[in-house]
Amino acid sequence: MKKIVLLSVLLFSIVLFAKEENKTIQIQVKDKLCGFCVEGLKKKFGERREIANIDINLETQLITLSLKDGQTLKDEDISAILTDTGQEVATIKRK
């Protein structure tokens, strides 16, 4: 019985830990971003219910998305948003 309880706790911890991962997505764009581009990106990403916060650094050309608890966002969806706003993805990293 102790083994079952211990195994259950371990599995629950793994699921909880896995859920906490990938809450932050960092997107490096290929082209230089301008202030107008930033506003368009914030508007488009802001329409997504999965996203809690959007940070765009003009100096590093890095877009950082914070996801709401229990939410995910596919790379394909990110690429589509960037394409719609005239940008091209260099890399997508999840933390």
- Burial label for 44, CB within 10 Å (0-12, 13-18, 19+), is middle
Distance CA 53, CA 30 (A): 22
Residues 9-45 have pLDDT tens digits of 555 555 555 555 579 999 999 989 999 999 999 999 9
Crossing angle between the packed helical segments 35-46 and 75-84, to the nearest 10 degrees: 140
Query: pTM (2 decimals)?
Result: 0.76
Helix or strand holding residue 81 (H, E):
helix 75-84
Distance CA 65, CA 55 (A): 6
